[in-house]
Amino acid sequence: MTKTRIIYHPVPFIVRQPLTPVTINTVLPGHIRKVTGIKVVHSVGVQFMTTAAYLPVIGYLSLEFNNKCYHFGHVDVPFDNRAEASDAYQDAAIDILPGSLLTGNYENKVFTGTEYQKADGTLTDKWSNYIVTIYLKALSDD
């Protein structure tokens, strides 16, 4: 049996326009054997557009593992600018093919009005790029 250990692997992505979906397409490190938990969090950026400390949904994320063979489903991404964290991850048990792709789509659902992006596509100064990070709790054999 190969010796495995726990590792947390973040996959951050940037959202640069309110109306354009973001395509996620990245190769997971070859040493990741199994994903045991998933958590998706807003990292930075949205706080420049709102004074709220919490918004239940800023966008939807769909995720697929193993070169699109395993569909994990959709995740609502909240904005939470409060310090209190929880170490809770959504449970998963996905055996990962070495060197396979993590793919998906992210659709922004907030700040989509014309005060953020004008009809001609230009962004206004109210819009801020923001970063969302997908955290994978995984077993690694490196």
Partner 1 sequence: MILGYRFQKVSLRISRSGQRVYFNGESHKDFSLLKGIALSVGYDSALFGSTFGFRVDEKKVLDESHEAHLLVFGSDVAPNDRMLFFETPIPIQSSKLEGIYTDSALQSLLGNISYSPGGGVIASTDVNVKKTYVSGKDIVSYSNAVVDNVPAYNAPTSISLGNGSMAIPGTAASPTAPAPVYYPYDVKITLLLSQK
Which amino acid is located at 89 in the chain?
Answer: Y
- Of the candidate residues 2, 20, 68, 74, the single one contacting partner 1 (CB under 8 A): 20
Give DSSP secondary structure letters for 21-43.
PEEEEEEPPTTEEEEEEEEEEEE
- Of the candidate residues 2, 22, 35, 113, the single one contacting partner 1 (CB under 8 A): 22
Tell me if 94 contacts partner 1 by CB under 8 A.
no
Give dist(CA 30, CA 11) in Å, integer: 15
Q: Within positions 29 to 48, which residues make up the interface with partner 1, using CB under 8 A?
A: 36, 39, 41, 43-45, 47-48
Q: In degrees to the nearest 10, what's the CA dihedral of 91, 96, 59, 124? A: 140
Residue ranges that bind partner 1, judged by CB under 8 A: 4-17, 20-26, 36, 39, 41, 43-45, 47-51, 81-87, 122-131, 133, 135, 139, 142
